[in-house]
Structure 1
Amino acid sequence: MCDTFVVVRPDAVLFGKNSDRDANEAQRLDWVAAAEHADGATLRCTWTTIPQVRRTHALLLSRPYWMWGAEMGANEHGVVIGNEAVFTRARHERQGGLLGMDLLRLGLERGATAEEAASVISELVAKHGQGGRAGYDDPSFRYHNSFLVADGREAFVVETAGREHVRERVTAGVRAISNGLTIEPFAEEHADPIVGAVAGCAVRRARVTKLAEEALGPADVAAVLRDHGPGHDDPSYHPLNGAMRAPCMHAGGLVASSQTVASWISQLSPGSALHFATGTAAPCLSAFKPVALDRPLDLGAPTGVADATSAWWRFEALHRRAIGDPAAAAKLRRARDAWEGWDARDPIEAWRDWGAFVAEQRLALGPRRDLRPGYVRRYWAARARDAAAAVPKLPAWS
């Protein structure tokens, strides 16, 4: 599950996304150089191979470690895309097919404007279809996709069901997608309302839209992505789906479960693009740090098994210590708020300082307490056992 939104204002376009996936499904930030390709070249995506184009743009991606595609990212031309699962009555490809994350990356590689990137996605959906394993914990998990594509002038929503697709231009105001089809009559024709209800699509989309109406800059976007719902500083759990009814998701449901494992913010205007990423789970406790296409960082190579070297897993140890104790979480949020800034800090310095901050906060935590419901504690105990395994459930993409 995910929440993605844009705010199109006269002076700028704001973009925000929470990537909600399985709890141990680490994401990595990848920098990809622009490239020229030979005539007739092919491209291996996650589960299928397609024809390559002559030139691909430089990218900055937030990518689940095991797949070729990405959950969100930007290209050298200031185009930003986020995708989301949507649940429809259309069939999946029997063989191969593109993941939504593959389509997102292809849109960024091949589109120099939001409109071009949206067209790339639509054309590839129609030509190659969607399919292949899309889940980390559940090998049978499949879904179709929606996309929010933005540049410094406008945005587009692209919604799909199998090889069918529809597109909507956004030139002003707030537009949010939260795992549900929204463009009529396409939505009525294709959406699966039962799965949409379990995923809390309409509730989350309404909450995001309401909060985003007041967003003027990146700090306001961060506040939306950190929201746990009306009146809740901490996650509010339900046995059915954990804390899935607000933008900042926390896993632990008995039927459905999803965890915000990475988050992204962009502020776009013609000729200018500022990007911020957590590079971690749990934006409610983590900080957004600046990232830039021309400032690559070595943040380690996380997988589904815990390690002591990657930025994602170093923070994850802190997150899992603090999230079950409201007092510890509040203390960490206060320290984070004092550390976080939205100025033009050099990305390399900011991420180095963040590493030191995480180490300090781990030492500052008191005795561990977990006050969450028993079913949530049991869920996370199982994830901890998986994270301590010798090998992850899926190998790293190579």
Structure 2
Amino acid sequence: MCDTLVCLPSFSKSGNLIFGKNSDREPMEAQAITHVPRKQPESKELTCTFITIPQVRETFEVILSRPFQMWGAEMGANEFGVVIGNEAVFTNVKFDKSDLGLTGMDLLRLGLERSKTALEAVQVIIQLLEEFGQNACGGYQNKNFYYHNSFLIADPNHAFILDTAGKSWAYRSVEKFGTISNALSIESNYEAASFVIEPRTIQGIFAGQQPNFRKHFSDFVFTTAGRANQRKTCTLTFLEKAQNPSISAFFQGLRQHNREDFSPQKATTGSICMHATGFTNPSDTTGSMVAEIRKGEASTIWLTGSSHPCMSIYIPFFLGAFPTEVVSLLNPSAQEDESFWWKAKKVHALIEKNYTKNQPIWRKTLDQLQENWLEEEIRLIQSEASLDELKSFTSKCLKTYREILNQVIQTEKLG
């Protein structure tokens, strides 16, 4: 389960496009922050998560947040300010598990590496979808987790929602705010669409008629169980109430739970910040991103590099200014290690011993630090800081956060 949202520049507090996503995955699937520079690949082939496809002559610089073992990514941004997040959606199109294709995360990364605008990314993903399909397992330990994908795709000026079902697709522009969750959302209000005849599941007998994309392809059972519409309503209501949302508002929006007396033990699939509880609620938010995409200035990609935004801080990263000296600390493995993701996991476990008492104490510490970072980030952008200055700022933030995590782990004291 995931949630992705965008505010177009004319409606944000800063006048810049703001984009956010929570990536909800299996609880022990660590998420890496990966930087890939612009390249002219020598090989004519590219190995993605499960299949090999033709490579292009040039790929663009990207910053990604991705499950550590996957080639593709849950969310990310490129050097031109294109930013993408995807959602698992459940449809009545059958999977042919003998004919492997690209994962939704592969399509997301390929869209970023090969596009200069949001509309270009839409077209890249559509072309690859039609050629290679998306018959691919999206799970980690759960090898039976297959799903189709919805994408929210933006650049400094525009945003689009792209829904898919098998090799079928539909897309539309976002006019003010846009949100997607784990359900198809485009009905007949698309700018373009393609309905491909493919085998259906038993739920195909209940399918609505074309041209309504959502009704024609939606799987009722999984879409309902995931409470996607409840979460989509929550994120859209948040954006509308914020009126002119800021970066801080997006941080807060992605930390939301669906009840005032929340505790991890009471969590359901209705929360934006997810905490797994078992079979009917199997996902944690394992990574979160908020990006401010600027025209003619450096964009800031804020990433938690850890699970549970309600217990995490957003760290600033910049295209062209990625601190290579900390790469190993941003790339966790399957087992507990020295990475930020696993260190934060230890601190979260300590907080969850008494969440109601401990989380506000920890949140106060992080909020003060977050406010300091936001002020420094604004100062750097307004002063037209060099790439070296931006890189130093990111390194300083990472160093400070690492010291705080280590201190809490050593002392088991949050304040």
> If the length of structure 2 is used for normalisation, what is the TM-score?
0.83
Counterpart residue type for residue 218 of structure 1: I
Counterpart residue type for residue 144 of structure 1: H
The structural deviation recorded for 1:236 is 6.6
Counterpart residue type for residue 335 of structure 2: V
Which residue, out of 361, 371, 375, partners 1:331? Answer: 361
Counterpart residue type for residue 12 of structure 1: N
The structural deviation recorded for 1:232 is 4.3
Which residue, out of 246, 250, 259, partners 1:221? Answer: 250
State the identity %. 36
- Given that 1:145 and 1:160 are in contact with CA atoms closer than 8 Å, whether structure 2 keeps it comes out as yes
Separation in structure 1 between the aligned mates of residue 91 and residue 368 of structure 2, nearest angstrom: 43
Matched ranges for 1:149-188 at <5 A: 149-170=153-174, 172-184=175-187, 185-188=212-215
Structure 2: 5+ residue runs without aligned partners? 188-211, 378-392
Matched ranges for 1:74-89 at <5 A: 74-89=77-92
Separation in structure 2 between the aligned mates of residue 339 and residue 283 of structure 1, nearest angstrom: 15
Question: Which segment is superposed worse, 64-73 or 265-274?
Answer: 265-274
Counterpart residue type for residue 37 of structure 1: P
The structural deviation recorded for 1:269 is 2.9
**C-alpha root-mean-square deviation of aligned residues, in Å?**
1.7
Q: Is residue 246 of structure 2 the alignment partner of residue 243 of structure 1?
A: no
The structural deviation recorded for 1:110 is 0.5
Separation in structure 2 between the aligned mates of residue 212 and residue 316 of structure 1, nearest angstrom: 29
Separation in structure 2 between the aligned mates of residue 249 and residue 132 of structure 1, nearest angstrom: 24
- Counterpart for residue 36 of structure 1: 40
- Counterpart for residue 252 of structure 1: 277
Q: Which structure dedicates a bigger proportion of its chain to helix? A: 2
Separation in structure 2 between the aligned mates of residue 156 and residue 232 of structure 1, nearest angstrom: 36
Q: Secondary structure at the match of 2:151?
A: strand
- Counterpart for residue 105 of structure 1: 109
Counterpart residue type for residue 177 of structure 2: V
Separation in structure 2 between the aligned mates of residue 353 and residue 176 of structure 1, nearest angstrom: 33
Separation in structure 1 between the aligned mates of residue 120 and residue 376 of structure 2, nearest angstrom: 29
Matched ranges for 1:283-322 at <5 A: 283-297=309-323, 298=326, 299-307=329-337, 309-322=338-351
Matched ranges for 1:186-225 at <5 A: 186-213=213-240, 214=242, 216-225=245-254
- Given that 1:328 and 1:365 are in contact with CA atoms closer than 8 Å, whether structure 2 keeps it comes out as no
- Given that 1:62 and 1:262 are in contact with CA atoms closer than 8 Å, whether structure 2 keeps it comes out as yes
Q: Is residue 296 of structure 2 the alignment partner of residue 271 of structure 1?
A: yes
- Given that 1:59 and 1:293 are in contact with CA atoms closer than 8 Å, whether structure 2 keeps it comes out as yes
Separation in structure 2 between the aligned mates of residue 357 and residue 366 of structure 1, nearest angstrom: 10
Separation in structure 2 between the aligned mates of residue 158 and residue 84 of structure 1, nearest angstrom: 10
- Given that 1:228 and 1:235 are in contact with CA atoms closer than 8 Å, whether structure 2 keeps it comes out as no
- Counterpart for residue 358 of structure 1: 405
Q: Is residue 45 of structure 2 the alignment partner of residue 45 of structure 1?
A: no
The structural deviation recorded for 1:233 is 5.3
- Counterpart for residue 395 of structure 2: 348
- Given that 1:97 and 1:128 are in contact with CA atoms closer than 8 Å, whether structure 2 keeps it comes out as yes
- Given that 1:8 and 1:174 are in contact with CA atoms closer than 8 Å, whether structure 2 keeps it comes out as yes
Which residue, out of 138, 145, 148, partners 2:142? Answer: 138
Q: Residues 344, 106 of structure 1: CA spacing in aligned structure 2 closer, same or farther, 3 A cutoff? A: farther
Aligned residues: 360
- Counterpart for residue 370 of structure 1: none
Structure 1: 5+ residue runs without aligned partners? 368-398
